[in-house]
């Protein structure tokens, strides 16, 4: 039987949700339609985004850029949008344009490529003036500078051309500034639909052409998928089963002589398909940590010998210390909305672990944390660095990392492009670190254990932000 308190909380939750739905009916709703509709091959000017304190939601404007493909002098960017049911608009028109452009690049250009996919979160969309659109353009420009001929990475590997894919969905269902925060459940549901819909077709298509592109030259094409907030939910749910499959295949089993299943069947002559994407990045992901448990189970299996030395991470979760939305706000909301949910009654510890994971996001569950980030200022300029946590010490070559980041690197929920100003202006520390990780592997910027301090609950790190 439910207690009176549980029933009261459940009733209040229902009334709150009902009020929110009535507000949706009364207030102005945004259109469920494709934003990027123009097939225009004109080369665009490279946009510039100066660091801003606010992240504005995109809206329709007269004369705005509606191109499905944005062509730049040295790179290009494609848009693929999905409806609230997770379907591609107009019979997947944008996806077809993207595939045609991708095939053209792979066929006509002899270069290597880095494909960067970005999935935006709550409140955002694919309008030209949406801050996430502009921030992604800047992320591509950062990657372009790092990978260009004679740049940092040319000394370690072949230069790569950059291809961007912006995944749009209706992250804002209300255009009323005061009430849009009541749409959290509605937009969470929308994100769930998108994660199980045609975005899986998109990812399958990108993987197919990566395989085609790598037939004659291994790693000619690499892919990084980045999801922010509810976009992290979408990206993770869309790739999670394939990710767990790959983690299991690469795990070295003791009963097999510490050899993985992939090692058992791998034969260079048959070109065994590599994992895809090369790297999945979740920044301040907005979903309950209980969905992360299968990844943790595989990577912490007691019958495993760990992963091969030199293993690159397949999944990186980055959570800002000062992200109140996926931290205390999310935990408070889940504490109320999950009152009537049950947990494993095998033992008190089992019940506690399930409840903790169900009421917090991945980065706010101590059990899942594996690394800590900080700024390394020992060189001529500051760069993002990281160190494994001290307790428990993670497998050095684990393919799944959960990192905490101070405001200098990720500033709050939306500050994934620029960290806070530390006196020399805002810089894209996180994006540069991810590109280093993709190019050089974990050994590029790694400081000694303990040098990055602890997580916020253990050690309060001083933020040197200029406010």
Chunked mean pLDDT (size 10), the chain, 467 residues: 44 50 58 91 67 78 93 93 96 97 94 95 93 94 80 67 96 74 85 96 97 90 97 97 91 88 67 79 97 94 81 92 93 93 93 96 93 87 85 74 94 92 87 88 76 68 74
Q: What is the pLDDT of residue 168?
A: 97
Q: Which helix (H) or strand (E) holds 293?
A: helix 293-299
Q: Print burial letters for 211-226: b (CB count within 10 Å at least 16), e (below 16).
A: eebbeeeeebbbbbbb
Give the burial class of 299: count Cβ atoms within 10 A of its Cβ; 0-12 exposed, 13-18 middle, 19 or more buried: buried
Q: Considering Cα of 107, then 113, then 117, then 118, what sign does the dihedral take?
A: negative
| Pair 411, 418: CB distance under 8 Å | yes
Q: What crossing angle do the helices spanning 348-359 and 330-337 adopt, rounded to 10°?
A: 120
Closest CA to 143 of 421, 441, 440, 434: 434
Residue 164 structure tokens: 């961007």
Q: What is the pLDDT of residue 245?
A: 92
d(CA 117, CA 203) in angstroms, rounded, equals: 9
Q: What is the pLDDT of residue 6?
A: 44
C-alpha count within 13 angstroms, C-beta hemisphere, residue 318: 32
| Pair 211, 273: CB distance under 8 Å | yes
d(CA 368, CA 401) in angstroms, rounded, equals: 9
Backbone angles phi, psi at 444, to 5 degrees: -65, -55
| Pair 30, 83: CB distance under 8 Å | no
pTM, two decimals, is 0.90
Beta strand 315-320 pairing with 279-283: parallel
Give the burial class of 15: count Cβ atoms within 10 A of its Cβ; 0-12 exposed, 13-18 middle, 19 or more buried: exposed
How many CB atoms are located within 10 Å of the residue 102 CB? 24
Closest CA to 176 of 215, 123, 238, 251: 123
- Residues in contact with 346: Cβ distance below 8 Å, sequence separation at least 6, in sequence order: none
- Using DSSP's 3-state secondary structure scheme, residue 452 falls into coil
Using only the alpha carbons of the chain, give its radius of gyration: 22
- Domain boundaries in the chain? 4-52+66-250+276-301+308-339+348-440
d(CA 280, CA 178) in angstroms, rounded, equals: 34
Closest CA to 237 of 199, 275, 201, 187: 199
Instruction: Give me the residues paired with residue 174 across strands.
Output: 29
| Pair 69, 101: CB distance under 8 Å | yes
Instruction: Give me the residues paired with residue 231 across strands.
Output: none
Task: Dump strand ranges (E) for 249-382.
Answer: 252-253, 259-260, 279-283, 315-320, 371-376
Instruction: Give me the residues paired with residue 383 across strands.
Output: 376
Q: Which helix (H) or strand (E) holds 385?
A: strand 383-388
Q: Print burial letters for 392-422: b (CB count within 10 Å at least 16), e (below 16).
A: eebbeebbbbbbbbbbbbbbbbbbbbbbbbb
Q: What is the pLDDT of residue 278?
A: 92
Q: What is the pLDDT of residue 393?
A: 62
| Pair 106, 125: CB distance under 8 Å | no
Residue 413 structure tokens: 């929920």
């Amino acid at each position: 039987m439910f207690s009176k308190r549980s029933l009261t909380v459940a009733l209040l939750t229902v009334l709150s949700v009902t009020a929110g739905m009535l507000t949706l009916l009364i207030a102005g709703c945004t259109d469920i339609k494709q934003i990027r509709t123009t097939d225009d091959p004109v080369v665009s000017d490279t946009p510039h985004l100066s660091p801003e304190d606010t992240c504005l939601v995109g809206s329709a404007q007269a004369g705005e850029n509606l191109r499905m493909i944005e062509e730049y002098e040295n790179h290009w960017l494609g848009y693929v949008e999905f409806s609230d049911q997770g379907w591609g608009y107009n019979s997947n028109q944008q996806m077809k344009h993207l595939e045609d452009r991708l095939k053209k690049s792979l066929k006509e250009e002899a270069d290597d490529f880095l494909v960067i996919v970005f999935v935006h979160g709550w409140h955002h969309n694919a309008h030209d003036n949406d801050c996430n659109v502009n921030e992604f353009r800047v992320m591509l420009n950062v990657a372009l500078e790092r990978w260009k001929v004679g740049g940092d990475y040319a000394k370690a590997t072949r230069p790569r051309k950059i291809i961007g894919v912006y995944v749009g969905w209706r992250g804002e269902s209300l255009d009323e500034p005061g009430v849009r925060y009541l749409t959290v459940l509605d937009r969470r549901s929308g994100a769930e639909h998108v994660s199980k819909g045609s975005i899986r077709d998109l990812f399958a298509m990108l993987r197919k052409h990566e395989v085609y592109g790598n037939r004659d030259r291994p790693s000619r094409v690499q892919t990084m998928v980045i999801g922010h907030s509810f976009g992290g939910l979408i990206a993770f749910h869309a790739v999670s089963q394939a990710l767990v499959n790959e983690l299991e295949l690469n795990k070295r089993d003791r009963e097999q002589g510490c050899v993985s299943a992939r090692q058992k069947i791998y034969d260079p002559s048959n070109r065994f398909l590599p994992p895809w994407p090369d790297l999945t990045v979740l920044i301040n992901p907005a979903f309950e940590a209980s969905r992360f448990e299968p990844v943790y189970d595989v990577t912490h299996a007691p019958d495993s010998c760990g992963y091969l030395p030199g293993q690159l991470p397949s999944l990186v979760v980055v959570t800002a210390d000062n992200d109140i939305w996926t931290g205390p706000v999310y935990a408070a909301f889940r504490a109320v909305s999950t009152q009537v949910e049950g947990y494993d009654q095998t033992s008190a510890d089992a019940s506690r672990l399930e409840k903790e994971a169900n009421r917090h996001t991945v980065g706010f569950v101590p059990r899942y944390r594996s690394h800590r980030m900080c700024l390394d200022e020992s060189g001529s300029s500051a760069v993002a660095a990281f160190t494994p946590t001290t307790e428990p010490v993670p497998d050095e070559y684990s393919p799944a990392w959960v990192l905490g980041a101070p405001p200098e690197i990720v500033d709050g929920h939306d500050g994934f492009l620029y960290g806070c100003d530390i006196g020399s202006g805002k810089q894209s520390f996180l994006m540069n670190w991810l590109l280093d990780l993709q190019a050089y592997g974990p050994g590029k910027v790694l400081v000694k254990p303990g040098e990055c301090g602890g997580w916020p609950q253990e050690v309060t790190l001083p933020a040197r932000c200029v406010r």
